[in-house]
A and B are shown apart, each in its own frame.
Chain A
């Protein structure tokens, strides 16, 4: 496994952990899985620290290698970036439409369908950011595993 592939796995782990803790602290867990809350917290907390430790170890052990990244890594990174960028752009467009609908709703003093509060739109954008980052890494891992 190359250094870039290991870093993709660790970044996916940290992005997933951030996504989980953001959801947990802002919305809490749904009732059906609330009884497993402690297990989830422990798992994601450990996942985050294991990923950080692996990144440090990889950086120390592979840091002296002549080639850290080559043209194949750049192409794979570009494919991941494209997927992440698409998710982010779609999210921003949805958020902008939501803000526009909310403003219209405020101006006309009537309730529009699909109009959301600004704080909800903000949470949506933050979640999209984590999701885009996780998708980017997932696509990169897929390409590395495929052997591209």
Chain B
């Protein structure tokens, strides 16, 4: 089975949203700033519920925020 990683555009989306800070996004979705940092760095894959909350915070479909990238 091919291994892949979940990549995201959170950093780019934050900056497009009036340079929203990690803490502001964390407060919006109900997690700690450290969790947002870990997600941004692709060190932690969020639950489906949290992924939807983050996408909703940016008013974007989930596929525009998170992508599953298969390593060649």
**A interface residue numbers (CB < 8 A to B):** 2-5, 66-67, 69-73, 146-148
Contact = CB atoms under 8 A, between A and B. Distances in A.
A70 B35 contact: yes
Contact of A72 (B27, B34, B41): B34
Contact of A67 (B26, B41, B44): B26
Interface string B24-44: 001100111111001001011
Contacts of B31: 67, 70-72
Contacts of A2: 32-34
A73 B41 contact: no
Interface residues of B, number: 15
A67 B41 CA distance: 21
B72 to A, nearest CB: 25
Interface in B5-51: 26-27, 30-35, 38, 41, 43-44, 46-47, 50
A127 to B, nearest CB: 33
B44 A70 contact: no
A74 to B, nearest CB: 10
Contacts of B41: 147
